[in-house]
Amino acid sequence: MVEEAVLDAAAAAVDPDEVLAYTRALIAAKSENPGGTEDRAAAVASDILTGVGADPEIVRSEAGRPSVVASLGAESGPSLAWNGHLDVVPAGSLDTWRHDPWAGEIDDDGRLIGRGAADMKGPIGAALAAASALRRAGTPLAGSLVFHLAADEELAGVHGTKVLWERGMLTQDAAIVGEPSELQVGLAERGGAWFTATAFGKAAHGSQPHRGVNAITSMARFLLRLPEVLPDIEHPLVGRPTVNAATIEGGSAPNVVPDRCEVDIDRRIVPGEIDPDAVRAPFLAIIEALRGEYPEVEIEVRLREWTDAAEASPDTDIARTAVEAVRATTGTAPELAGFTGITDARFYINQADIPTVICGPGSLRVAHTADEWVPVDELVAGARAYARIFAASLA
């Protein structure tokens, strides 16, 4: 049990100016995905880590994408991973922004604005500033704090955290994934089942549609019944599964009955949904039912990609430590929360079987939007909460 005074000293040593400086330097190091690489952001993070006494290593995927791995403290004893992704979604059209996406401006309402302010250059800046605070406070570390600053989270993490897992680097006793959770303590996230549905028809002259079978019409009948694929289940943290028809393509010319129509469908799954065939079955049942009424309907549904949902236990030291650290920092006990999106936490929870929480400053509501922002107060509170968690887990 670490003395309260040690935790207080670590939190008090967080320097708000340093939190801002780190975050702004990271925001300025563009790392749009798709469209760029994380090299500049990795270089900025490596410099900061070197400055706080670590010896960072760049781990590259086969495609050359960089993740930064660095550890602080002792080589033996307990270990804690802090994971954040270096990539950001593209800024998009600049006329939708009122501020420069890469300048890290602070507005009159105390918001730090920029691409990645919340998701998640801000949380990375907070975590690095927490590490710096521990050093300044002289917090004794009987274990190791390991940073995993990963490439490519926004496009499924295949060049980032997945690579760290494949290379045997996810071995810590506990992990924090610092995605923006408004400092709630996230313990579960949904997964995704991406399907492609293809309707087949029969081409005919557009002036004689009765001679053909219209694939777009078949698809329309199918799409209107999509909500029926959802089971009546609700997870206490991440809620209900969802389904969304995401893209559509079909037909060849205005005067031809279309013989093909294709739709990509995003079915979000909740913890407990583990069987792709079971998730796909209701799609097939709708098609069967449609064929009773419209025998010409012919639709194939194939699974394109499956990402497991993840759920971590609340009954772990890291979950209790995170709850206590946020409560001590903000004065309010955080809620145990779920994430509607997919994060790299799934590699720690599902693949590496490490007790994990998702916790960081900033809100998912503004992630990926124009003028993305994080409240400066919350960013600094995040750094103080991290300092407490690091000290409590490792001192």
Residues of the shown chain interacting with Zn ion in the complex, contacts defined by CB under 5 A: 119-120, 179
Question: What is the spatial distance between Cα 147 and Cα 149, in angstroms, rounded to a whole number?
Answer: 6
Instruction: State how far the alpha carbon of 286 is from the alpha carbons of 56, 242, 362, in Å.
Output: 53, 17, 41
Choose between 104 and 180: whose C-beta lies nearer to Zn ion: 180
Question: What is the spatial distance between Cα 280 and Cα 195, in angstroms, rounded to a whole number?
Answer: 8
Question: What is the spatial distance between Cα 331 and Cα 334, in angstroms, rounded to a whole number?
Answer: 9
How many residues are present in the chain? 395
Determine contact, residues 73/340, Cβ cutoff 8 Å.
Answer: no
Choose between 105 and 179: whose C-beta lies nearer to Zn ion: 179
Residue type at 233 in one-letter notation: I
The values of phi and psi at residue 3, to 5°, are -65, 140
DSSP assignments along 59-85, one per residue: EE-TT--EEEEEEEE-SSS-EEEEEEE
Least Cβ distance, residue 153 to Zn ion (angstroms) = 6
Question: What is the spatial distance between Cα 357 and Cα 176, in angstroms, rounded to a whole number?
Answer: 5
Strands 111-113 and 373-375: antiparallel
Question: What is the spatial distance between Cα 154 and Cα 229, in angstroms, rounded to a whole number?
Answer: 27
Choose between 114 and 258: whose C-beta lies nearer to Zn ion: 114
Least Cβ distance, residue 179 to Zn ion (angstroms) = 5
| 123 SS3 class | helix
Least Cβ distance, residue 220 to Zn ion (angstroms) = 35
C-alpha closest to that of 86 among 145, 163, 15: 163
Question: What is the spatial distance between Cα 380 and Cα 387, in angstroms, rounded to a whole number?
Answer: 11
C-alpha closest to that of 204 among 252, 251, 259: 259
Least Cβ distance, residue 365 to Zn ion (angstroms) = 13
Least Cβ distance, residue 76 to Zn ion (angstroms) = 32
Q: What are the tokens at 193?
A: 């089942």
**How is the beta sheet containing 373-375 ordered, strand by strand?**
105-106, 111-113, 373-375
Residue nearest to Zn ion (CB): 119
Strands 260-269 and 105-106: unpaired
Least Cβ distance, residue 73 to Zn ion (angstroms) = 26
Least Cβ distance, residue 181 to Zn ion (angstroms) = 10
Q: What are the tokens at 230?
A: 């959802």
Q: Which residue numbers are catalytic?
A: 87, 153
